[in-house]
Amino acid sequence: MRIFFCCCLLFLMSCTSAPVGEELPNIQIARDIWGVPHIMAKTDAEVAYGLAWAECEDQFTTLQELMAACKGMLGEIKGKEGLVADFGVKFMGLQEVVQQKYEQDVTGKFKVYLESFVAGVNAYAALHPEEVLLDALFPITGQDVIVGYLLGNVEVSGAGKDLAKILDGKMSSYLQSDAPKGSNAFAISKTKTTDDKTYLAINSHQPLEGWYSWYEAHLISEEGMNILGGTFAGGICIFHGVNENLAWAHTVNHADFSDVYQLTMHPTKENYYQFDGEWIPLKEKKYRSWLKVLGPIKILITRTIYESKYGPTFKTDNGYFSWRFVVSQSIKMSEQWYQMNKARNFKEFKEAINLRGIACLNFVYADKDDNIYYLSNGSLPVRNPKYNWQGVLPGNTSETLWDHTLIPIDSLPQVLNPKSGWVFNTNNTPYSATDSLSNFKETTLNKTMGYQSKGLENNRSSRFLELISQYDSLSYADFKRIKYDNQYPSKMMTPKAINLEELMHLDTTKYPDIAEGIRLLTNWNRKSDVENTTAALFILTWMHIDKIRKSEDRVVRGGTITAEDCVLGIRRASEEMKRKFGALEVPLKEVQRLIRGDLNLPMAGAPDVLAAIYSKEHTDGTYKAFAGESYIELVRFGKDGVEIESINTYGSSEKPSSAHFTSEMSSFATQKLKQMTLNKEEVLRTAVRIYSPMKVKK
């Protein structure tokens, strides 16, 4: 069958006439007025096929680029930039990990589901050869998809930063994305709401476009699947969202998901390292990828790394270093998400979590039974406590070589149904997830887990704690006001307890050339709405401070922000504001914009406020939002069922010709949400278009 399909695919791609396909009437895709696909079928596997088809209709270029990186072929599409990604994936050994584990670990109904998704992608490629970026990319396999999941988990876990450090920055453009990896989530029990309902805010802060931007979908099968939420291109199910019984959100957490080891090398025997008193040869590994040079011309590039007992190993000017990361220890993450999609209650949700496939990420959960739950999830290995796991480890002993034994879930930071009636996370310390009396207590075990210690908040967590303390009970309007809050807390801070409050209290008499800017920032109300006339100055000042610290390598090392940094930041921001906009006091809407295609809208928000927005300089001199607030889903469970509102940044399609390239932009920019439903009959009644995907006709 596989041989037949490959031949069919190659034949179709070489044809000048229209490819031949036939409908799959058992699968229906209902598009609503926003373009969101609601995919309905009898079986889960058929739903997976329909989801693949819808993703390809809307996000085929992004999906292909991700799959190309997973297969080591992106250099043939994007040249040098793609080649860096190709070697990054290969150096991590992700393809080999999946190849070794696939047949044993991907089984049963889930395997049928996964491979049905793959069949949907391959059929779309075969029937739309004009959209295929690289013929050799297809057919993709289930293994390729799982490599994509591993790659995404490496990205959000921060493990790639360790690899980038080993390689001395040579791969930093790929392994250390400049997009912040954040998110907010909070759940409120009906004991603290005025309408006797349980609330959940799913509020991801991700890149607004690209591999890890959100795609909204609704999956319905007659086998018990009915879930609406966000996934990524290449995602086979919903990553976080809501079904009829429960809902959950993810935020990025920060623990020790990766370790670096310095090897002790033999003084005379090349590529031999010491391990438990013996000298062992490194295994040499050569990787090859094609680099697109000009048009159809490409050249073969070869790179060599090594492998030790610890994992991928690299020769540098400072010696040999090995890298070991928890993401590579399991390929069950996609199956775990599938089981979470299908969970009907808290017990089944916990059973899905116990698969331990998702290597990192916080969970904030709520359900129709009024359970609220926070877990700082991590597939963290049992490590020897006598070593400093935050530094470079000795690579000559089995005492630092951890195995597959994981710290039990019950030992991870978590809170279930606290008396306060709320749990939250904004990427802050997991030991601050609710009121101070109900928080999980930090233990000495954290020395090997590496979570942020108690007291390490960020601006978003500090502001959330300020706001939630004002309410004995919340209305839904209060809940939305907290979610969309764009004000900094009374004491400004950034991650790792860096002092940003210094910026707000400089002495004008010491710095007369920037006295106007200092006065504006000192008297600023700390809000970032579109009409605010000081927010732009603050945002640009923060950007310039970041540039200064990055140039001196003080961001990575967590150095404090000094008064001198603040002075220089204000000076450079003031110069830029006057040069571009003619004044220091300018409404934020004139500086920060949400831009796609021909649509250019004012954009509120700032870095690390609850309604966070991160922006970059645009070609016209303004600043274009590129990350932060993205997919938003607000959920309420009550006696009458579940109520859902959501919004995505742009729309369902990445194709400029589509009506849904920008169909949600205006609502997103003005903080308006759309009503959504899990009711199949209502979806069909209100759908703009209902159709079936295709398969290659035999």
- Write the DSSP symbol of residue 440: P
Cβ neighbors of 344 (< 8 A, separation 6 or more) are 224, 243, 245, 246
Neighbours of 3 (CB within 10 A): 7
Average pLDDT (169-198) is: 75
Average pLDDT (543-567) is: 77
Using the predicted structure, report yes or no on whether residue 181 has a pLDDT greater than 70. Answer: no
Alpha-carbon distances, residue 168 vs 27, 265, 315, 549, 565 (angstroms)? 50, 20, 11, 18, 26
Residue 221, pLDDT score: 98
d(CA 561, CA 539): 15
Residue 19, pLDDT score: 65
Using the predicted structure, report yes or no on whether residue 310 has a pLDDT greater than 90. Answer: yes
Residue bearing the bigger pLDDT, 295 or 178: 295
Average pLDDT (157-186) is: 66
Give Dmax over CA atoms of the chain in angstroms: 81
Average pLDDT (647-673) is: 97
Using the predicted structure, report yes or no on whether residue 37 has a pLDDT greater than 70. Answer: yes
Cβ neighbourhood burial of 658 (10 Å; 0-12, 13-18, 19+): middle
**With helix as H, strand as E and coil as C, how does 616-662 read?**
EECCCCCEEEEEEEEEEEEEEEECCEEEEEEECCCCCCCCCCCCCCC
Alpha-carbon distances, residue 123 vs 10, 145, 334 (angstroms)? 12, 15, 22
Average pLDDT over the chain reads 92
Residue 253, pLDDT score: 93
Band of pLDDT at residue 555, cut at 50, 70 and 90: low
Residue 35, pLDDT score: 97
- 159-168, 200-209, 246-255: range with lowest mean pLDDT: 159-168
Residue bearing the bigger pLDDT, 176 or 318: 318
Residue 242, pLDDT score: 98
What pLDDT digit, counting tens, does each position of 505-553 carry? 899 999 999 999 999 999 999 999 999 999 999 999 999 998 888 777 6
Using the predicted structure, report yes or no on whether residue 99 has a pLDDT greater than 80. Answer: yes
What is the H or E stretch that residue 598 is in? none
DSSP string covering 360-407: S-EEEEEETT--EEEEE---PBP--TTS-TTSPEESS-GGG---SPBP
C-alpha 620, offset from chain centre: 29
Residue 557, pLDDT score: 43
Residue 173, pLDDT score: 43
d(CA 234, CA 211): 9
Band of pLDDT at residue 620, cut at 50, 70 and 90: very high
Using the predicted structure, report yes or no on whether residue 207 has a pLDDT greater than 60. Answer: yes
Residue 506, pLDDT score: 92
Cβ neighbors of 484 (< 8 A, separation 6 or more) are 610, 611, 671
d(CA 340, CA 333): 11
What pLDDT digit, counting tens, does each position of 1-11 carry? 444 344 444 44
Using the predicted structure, report yes or no on whether residue 359 has a pLDDT greater than 70. Answer: yes
Residue 676, pLDDT score: 98
What pLDDT digit, counting tens, does each position of 440-481 carry? 999 999 999 999 988 888 999 999 999 999 999 999 999 999
Using the predicted structure, report yes or no on whether residue 193 has a pLDDT greater than 80. Answer: yes
Band of pLDDT at residue 175, cut at 50, 70 and 90: very low
Residue type, 481: R
Using the predicted structure, report yes or no on whether residue 13 has a pLDDT greater than 70. Answer: no
Place of tokens 């050869």: 129
Structure tokens at 163: 């690899």
Residue 155, SS3?
helix
Using the predicted structure, report yes or no on whether residue 679 has a pLDDT greater than 90. Answer: yes
Average pLDDT (178-200) is: 89
Band of pLDDT at residue 159, cut at 50, 70 and 90: confident
- 36-45, 165-174, 186-195, 569-578: range with lowest mean pLDDT: 165-174
Cβ neighbors of 96 (< 8 A, separation 6 or more) are none
Contact predicate 116/341, CB 8 Å:
no
C-alpha 253, offset from chain centre: 11
* Predicted TM-score of the model (pTM): 0.92
- 6-10, 230-234, 255-259, 672-676: range with lowest mean pLDDT: 6-10
- 177-191, 432-446, 535-549: range with lowest mean pLDDT: 177-191
Residue 496, pLDDT score: 45
What is the H or E stretch that residue 694 is in? strand 694-696
Structure tokens at 265: 């090398």
Q: What percent of the chain has pLDDT over 90?
A: 81
